[in-house]
Amino acid sequence: MPTSKSDLKKLTKLGKKSSASRTLEVFPNHAPKGSMEVTLECTEFTCRCPLTGQPDYATIEIEYKPDKYVVESKSMKLYLETYREEGVFHEHLAVDIGKDFVKFVKPLECEVKVMFNVRGGIAISAEWEYKK
């Protein structure tokens, strides 16, 4: 089934200028419940150390099984960009992104992986999971 005009009605970020809000937009899922898995991968994520303010770079991967809605990818990109100048511990980031994702998208299942580049000789990865 192709994307219909009614699928686009509530989308406000796609094709528009960037806004710095931490919200995610969704569109209707046309697949039968539980039959699709979606993976989002951001290889250019940046934030800052909450103590030193030094930049941290990471790959963020979000895997989820949509229920009624699928996340609109540009809104996800803009959401992740809101962390660019924010100080956040890596482990907290996985939880924060995951909880926001569940709040807006309401998936059946969701896993958020944050894989930070080496800094000071240590690479940190953290995972957060949700099942409805």
Which residues participate in catalysis according to the annotation?
A: 49, 56
Helix or strand run (H / E) with residue 103:
helix 90-105
The token duo for 15 is 């094709």
Backbone angles phi, psi at 10, to 5 degrees: -90, 0
CB atoms within 10 A of CB 12: 12
Buried b (16+ CB within 10 A) or exposed e, 16-52: eeeeeeeebbbbebeeeeeeeebebebeebebbeeee
